[in-house]
Amino acid sequence: MRRKMKMKNCSVSDLFFVRYGVNLELNSLVQDSNGINFVSRTSKNNGVSAKVKPISCIEPLPPGTITVAGGGSVMEAFLQMSPYYSGRDLYYLTAKEPMTNEQKLFYCLCLRATKYKFSYGRQANITLPDLEIPALESIPEYVNEFSLAQYGKNLLRQIDFSANNMKYTQTGEVVPLENLFFVIGGISSSQVIRSKVKLNENWLPYVRPSYRQETCVDAYVNKTVVPDGKVFPPKTLYVSTDGQGSHTFSYVSTFEFVPNSNVSVLLPKRNMGLQEKLFYAQCITNNRYKFSYGRKPKGKRLKSIMLPEYPPEYVLDYNVNNVMQCFHNVLERV
Which residues lie across from 234 on neighbouring strands?
none
Whole-angstrom distance, CA of residue 94 vs CA of residue 97: 9
Band of residue 1 on the pLDDT scale cut at 50, 70, 90: very low
Tens digit of each residue's pLDDT (9 = 90 or more) over 210-222:
998 888 999 999 9
Task: List the chain domain ranges.
Answer: 9-146, 174-316
**HSE-up of residue 28 (Cα within 13 Å, Cβ side):** 8
Burial 177-207 (b: 16+ CB within 10 A, else e): bbebbebbbbbebeebeeeeeeeeeebbbbb
The CATH code for residues 9-146 is 3.90.220.20
Band of residue 243 on the pLDDT scale cut at 50, 70, 90: confident
- 3-state SS, the chain, equals CCCCCCCCEEEHHHHEEEEECCCCCHHHCCEEEEEEEEECCCCCHHHEEEEECCCCCCCCECCCCEEEECCCCCCCEEECCCCEEECCCEEEEEECCCCCHHHHHHHHHHHHCCHHHCECCECCCCCHHHCEEECHHHCCHHHHHCCHHHHHHHHHHCCCCCCCCCCCCCCCCEEEHHHHEEEEECECHHHCCEECCCCCCCEEEEECCCCCHHHCEEEEEEHHHCCCCCCECCCCEEEECCCCCCCCCEEECCCCEEEECCEEEEEECCCCCHHHHHHHHHHHHCCHHHCECCECCCHHHHHCCEEECCCCHHHHCCCHHHHHHHHHHHHHHC
What is the pLDDT, as a whole number, of residue 232? 96
259 C-beta neighbours (distance < 10 Å), count: 27
Whether 174-316 and 9-146 are alike in CATH topology: the answer is yes
Query: Percentage of residues in the chain with pLDDT exceeding 90?
Result: 69
CATH class of 174-316: alpha beta
Q: What is the pTM of this model?
A: 0.64
Tens digit of each residue's pLDDT (9 = 90 or more) over 48-93:
999 999 999 999 999 999 999 998 889 999 999 999 999 999 999 9
Tens digit of each residue's pLDDT (9 = 90 or more) over 117-132:
998 788 888 899 999 9
